[in-house]
């Protein structure tokens, strides 16, 4: 098991750019927590990178993430990585017992949510995302309503962290991967066909102050 093979596997099974980016975001958040907890950064990162790699092909709860886990077993991925991947989906019935299991569950929905918050900022830059801006959007039930607020709250609790601290950790980890995630402001800088056109100076905004 190594990072290059894991990324190749993700790309083999997942064509959607946003789903690949989701894997990369969860990888960054997992590596961040591994670093924080003194754990194996590559292993935790790979669990994040691959947690949804089978989803595009087998989205039904009866298949995902079980199918993916079977493929990982055939390829010799370690048991603890597969258990964390199975456990991130409550419907798998596989309990979360290790810190890696809890971390994967805790960062999955929140990474997606922070990405969604970033994409509605004029700058489309993670540099402008704060804990308070994420908190505000969490309260807005209409925003990214497919993201389970309950999972985010439970995830922080499983990690033994205050929600604000957990949000701050995930923002910081994703900021470290902003370029790979396409959330470094380049989307608003006019390199692509940005909808509505980027506001001048959007990249330099300090954002709203964190609470």
| E-strand stretches of the chain | none
Nearer to Fe ion, 92 or 186 (CB): 92
CB 171 within 8 A of CB 95: no
* CB nearer Fe ion, residue 52 or residue 128: 52
Structure tokens at 72: 């990982």
What is the smallest separation between the CB atom of 150 and Fe ion, expressed in angstroms?
15
Q: Which is nearer to Fe ion, 47 or 188 (CB)?
A: 47
Shortest Å, Cβ 88 to Fe ion: 7
CB of 23 to Fe ion, least distance (A): 8
| Nearest Cα to Cα of residue 194 among 202, 22, 18 | 202
Name the residue nearer to Fe ion (CB basis): 14 or 130: 14
CA atoms within 13 A on the CB side of 47: 33
Taking the C-alpha atoms of residue 37 and residue 17, their distance in angstroms, rounded to an integer, is 30
| Interacting residues with Fe ion (CB under 5 A) | 52, 108
Would you say 149 or 202 has its CB closer to Fe ion? Answer: 149
d(C-alpha 33, C-alpha 88), whole Å: 16
Quote the least distance from Cβ 26 to Fe ion, whole Å: 6
Do 125 and 182 form a contact (C-beta atoms < 8 A)?
Answer: no
Smallest gap, in angstroms, from Cβ of residue 59 to Fe ion?
12
Task: Answer whether the bond into residue 65 is a cis peptide, omega within 30°.
Answer: yes
């Amino acid at each position: 098991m190594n990072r290059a093979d894991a990324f190749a596997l993700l790309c083999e099974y997942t064509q959607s750019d946003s789903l690949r980016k989701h894997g990369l975001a969860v990888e960054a958040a997992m590596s961040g927590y591994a670093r924080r907890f003194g754990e194996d950064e590559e292993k935790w990162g790979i669990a994040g990178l691959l947690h949804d790699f089978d989803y595009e092909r087998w989205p039904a709860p009866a298949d995902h993430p079980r199918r993916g886990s079977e493929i990982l077993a055939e390829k010799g991925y370690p048991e603890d990585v597969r258990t964390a991947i199975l456990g991130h989906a409550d419907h798998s019935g596989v309990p979360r017992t290790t810190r890696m299991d809890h971390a994967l569950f805790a960062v999955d929905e929140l990474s997606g949510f922070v990405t969604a918050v970033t994409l509605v900022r004029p700058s489309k830059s993670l540099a402008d995302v704060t804990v308070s801006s994420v908190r505000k959007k969490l309260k807005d039930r209409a925003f990214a309503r497919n993201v389970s607020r309950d999972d985010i709250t439970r995830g922080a609790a499983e990690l033994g962290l205050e929600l604000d601290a957990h949000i701050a950790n995930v923002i910081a980890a994703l900021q470290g991967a902003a370029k790979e995630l396409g959330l470094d402001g380049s989307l608003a800088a006019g390199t692509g066909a940005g909808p509505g056109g980027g506001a001048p100076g959007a990249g330099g905004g300090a954002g709203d102050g964190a609470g």
